[in-house]
Amino acid sequence: MPLRLGVNIDHVATLRQARYARDPDSNLVEPDPVEAAILAEKSGADSITAHLREDRRHIQDHDIFRLKDALTTKLNLEMGNTADILNVALKVKPHDVCLVPENRHEITTEGGLDCVANRTSLGSTIAKLQGIGTIVSLFIDPDPAQIRAAGELNAEFIELHTGAFANASGAERDAELQRLVEGAHLAHALGVRVNAGHGLNYRNVRAIFAIPHLQELNIGHAIISRAVVAGLPSAVAEMKTLCKSYCG
């Protein structure tokens, strides 16, 4: 099965909010993350990821509704396990939801969910999302206990957190890659499908192709950064071409 590419458009909204957070109804508001998402689709993206945070620092509620209506591929809604955001998800009914940890003081997601400690609350949220036909993924570190807990929670997917790998070098990087490989093997054995993301870019993505059973990568910052100088179609197409060399 070809490795799919999910493009995260959060940073398009970050740029918009930097100028227009106090004047959202201005007819000058730009850039539009929905317009960017449609262009990413046309350039080869297999899905669009957007993270609706509690503090609404970038993506806004109306973006999520507009994305659901506009996309021809699928919407992957990243969200913390909170009542407020869950209510939005239950109204939007996205194709996919990826449940992630969230800390208001972090710049970006810093680690995986603790599925072991939060089993009860996660179980309730997963059941509600699956009840509306949404496919649920859990963003977790490649820790065997967390992977087993994800399987016991009946999540269809895990998204392996590749941030520790992306931030490491030398022997430490090799060790983190091995953890990811072993985690993917364990998830597959438990019947849980595997995605991956966080910190992946045009330089390091080939290395994670050693991870077996991958179905989709979710990449945002690197693609949007490349798009600033190369254009979004070129940035998406280049990453999509890299994904085609995966043989997992």
Q: What residues are annotated to the active site?
A: 51, 78, 198
Q: Count CA within 13 A, CB hemisphere, residue 236.
A: 23
Cβ count near 34 (within 10 Å): 22
Please report, as a single letter, which amino acid is at residue 36: A
Which among 106, 99, 90, 95 is positioned nearest to 57, based on CA atoms? 106
Which among 69, 97, 40 is positioned nearest to 226, based on CA atoms? 40
* CA distances to 56, 89, 110, 140 from 104, in Å: 10, 20, 11, 19
Rounded-to-integer distance, Cα 100 and Cα 111, Å: 9
